[in-house]
Amino acid sequence: MKKTKVVNSIVVFSLLVLVMLTLTPLVLMFHASFKPVGTLTKETREVKLYPINKSKNIWSLRLNQDVRKFSTINLLVKGSRGGEQFKIIFHDISGRTCAMDSSRYLKNGLSQHAAILRIPTKDFSIHALNPGLPEKIAEFITIRPNNKDDSIFIDELTLDIKRFTLANFIDVLTSGHFGRYFFNSTLIAIIITLGNIFFCTVVGYTFARKDFAFKKLLFMLILASIMIPPQVLIVPIFILMKNLGWLNTYFALIVPSMVQPFGIFLMKQYISRLPTSLEDQARVDGATERQILFKIIFPLSKPALAIIGITTFMGAWNTFLFPFILTNTTRMRTLPVGLALFKNLQGADWVHLMAGSSLTALPVILVFLGFQKYIIAGLTTGLVKR
């Protein structure tokens, strides 16, 4: 009894470790996608600026960053005689500005003793920077007194970075052709999934219920084709698509994947286990083969169809090689290809890369959660003795 408990504890612990190892990359990806800056594991909390110019009592500080990712501006500032007021001004590359007057926070003006002033960036009208673009990049900041004869002294200026932001997702969705990539992946994945569900069921039903010449040989060829790596087929498929004039079209991305041999095998095995009594009764009542297929076989095969649907959708959604080889314009690229090119263009911009990866992974996660009941039923069918 004690030995059994030890074994069970080891099994449970091993499963927990496996789940943690599986989920950790996913959690890091989603966490990084909400960070304004940083990497998968590192996080930056503040940015410190140093004056690049001070002429006529005007302080200039180089920024060249997106203002949306900052929450607060912190200044250690004092006046020469006390009572001074000043303005903080963001400048974009085209000379547009947005400013904030210190009188909103210091009714009596500055003191002769240095004090920290904290100003939320939400109080600035940053939409005036780079109008028409989601990024609100300020090239530099200027701080100048309202009265040109006043003198102010700044010891240091820091900007606190937000803990979470949705700006990364907005940037990814509005930058380049990400919307087109998303549409292409969605259209291709849905059509391929529906095609496999239909054709695999029809062919599987034929192999399970009908007798015809060379039936066993054809089924063995289907099983043998499962062992062929998809990479081996890329050259003949490319030549075929080129000869048909389908390169850089939806036909090239959809037709070769409309029916998968594994789906045929799965449906043949599943339908073979279904009782034939309902079909025989339907034939006695005058039902056609089409009616039997759509009104009996399809409803009874929901668990197997769910497995085909989720695996086919995930494969079509995540595939990279075939869309990369068979397309050459941004109009026909899918999300994995677009994301790879986005990575090359953006370099090591981890937060935007993770935001794009999160948007790519989210539909698959939602589909899996929506069909998990049928998937589990399909995987466990036949395991329980009745």
Give the tens place of pLDDT for each residue, 37-60. Answer: 877 777 778 888 876 666 657 888
At 384 the pLDDT is: 43
**What does each C-alpha distance from 46 to 38, 135, 157, 313 come to in angstroms?**
11, 19, 10, 42
The model's pLDDT over 290-330, given as tens digits with 9 standing for 90+, comes to: 899 989 999 988 888 988 988 899 899 999 989 999 998 88
List CB contacts of 285: < 8 A, sequence separation 6 or more.
Answer: none
Domain boundaries 171-380, corresponding CATH code = 1.10.3720.10
At 243 the pLDDT is: 94
At 248 the pLDDT is: 92
Least confident of 124-128, 240-244, 346-350: 346-350
Residue type, position 6, single letter: V
State the distance between the two ends of the chain, measured CA to CA, in whole angstroms.
29
Distance between CA atoms of 220 and 261, rounded to whole angstroms?
11
The DSSP-derived string for 201-255 is HHHHHHHHH---TTHHHHHHHHHHHHTS-GGGGHHHHHHHHHHHT-TTSHHHHHG
**DSSP designation for 193:** H
Residue type, position 355, single letter: A
Using the predicted structure, report yes or no on whether residue 364 has a pLDDT greater than 50. Answer: yes
Could you confirm whether domain 46-163 is CATH 2.60.120.430? yes
Distance between CA atoms of 70 and 50, rounded to whole angstroms?
17
Rounded to the nearest integer, the mean pLDDT of the chain is 85
Mean of pLDDT values over 133-137? 86
Q: Could you tell me the residue ranges of all domains in the chain?
A: 46-163, 171-380
> What's the whole-model pTM score?
0.76
Distance between CA atoms of 28 and 319, rounded to whole angstroms?
22
Are residues 130 and 92 in contact, defined by beta-carbon separation less than 8 angstroms? yes
pLDDT band at 237 (very low <50, low <70, confident <90, very high): very high
